[in-house]
Amino acid sequence: MVTAYDFPTARLVDAAGVDCVLVGDSVAMVVAGRSSTIPATIEQMIYHGEIVSRGVERAFVVVDLPFPLQHLGVERAIEASARILKETGCQGVKLEGTAGQADVIAGIAGAGIPVMGHVGLRPQAVHQLGGYRMQRDHDRLMDDAKAAAAAGAFAVVLECIPQETAAAITESIAVPTIGIGAGVRCDGQVLVLHDMVGLSSDRVPRFVRRYADAGGAIRDAVSRWHADVVERRFPGSDETLG
């Protein structure tokens, strides 16, 4: 699974063959330059979700439920998830939560909406968790993941947890685990696209492996074009006439 937030990258990641495209609330950080995912709104998630769903032909598209909708009661969470599904054309939603949100997962799944859980480091709770740091309470993480799976989540994201805990959870629950900073013993992996291809402006987490320098490629292209314009090498006479 990998994130996408716009049409061209949705098409690219779909063509690359990933199983699942996540329209993460990380859009608030990597696209809008905010310092956390907390400011993401449902209107923004629907806006980006609809664009990405149109760009993806093959993969399963999941859109994040933004803070604090999973804490406002089962009915409001179902209403918001249904709105995301209807207005974006995506196939599922994801919500961050502990065992305390199991009733919300059950309600959304009961409404026929595929729902993915997200335990461990929950970026929407960054201030309560004391920063973007590894979560190490083995028993609590196990309880949270088991509760999400038992409530009907079709998969569970495990973010920033020790790999032994991730492996134990993966062996204990019947649905796929998708790790991010949780080691290799998960069923799948997820990364933020901008981190993976070198487009993030801020520091990226240590577990991210960079597969491209798209930021450098864009800076270089624009800088070469700028020099051509300043030196009057662009447009050439042929290009001027199309």
Residues taking part in catalysis = 159
**Choice between 21 and 99, CB closer to ligand KIV:** 21
Q: What is the DSSP letter of 205?
A: P
State how far the Cα of 129 lies from the Cα of 55, in Å rounded to an integer: 35
Residue with tokens 């026929």: 112
The contacts of residue 150 (CB under 8 Å, 6+ apart) are 102
Cis check: omega of the bond before 235, within 30 degrees of 0? yes
Shortest distance, CB of residue 109 to ligand KIV, whole angstroms? 19
Which CB atom, from 27 or from 173, has the smaller least distance to ligand KIV? Answer: 27
Q: Which residues contact 58 (CB under 8 A, 6 or more apart)?
A: 14
Provide the binding-site residues for ligand KIV, judged by CB under 6 A: 3, 22, 24-26, 37, 64, 118, 157, 180, 190, 192
Q: How far is the CB of 25 from ligand KIV (least distance, A)?
A: 5
Task: Identify which of residues 151 and 193 has a Cβ nearer to ligand KIV in the complex.
Answer: 193
Q: How far is the CB of 222 from ligand KIV (least distance, A)?
A: 27
Please choose, from the candidates 2, 3, 22, the residue with its C-alpha nearest in 3D space to the C-alpha of residue 91. 22
Q: Which is nearer to ligand KIV, 18 or 180 (CB)?
A: 180
Least separation in angstroms between CB 194 and ligand KIV? 10
- C-beta nearest to ligand KIV: residue: 24
The answer to whether the bond into 205 is cis (omega within 30° of 0) is: no
DSSP 191: B
- Coil, strand or helix at 176: coil
Asked if residues 99 and 143 have their Cβ atoms less than 8 Å apart, the reply is yes
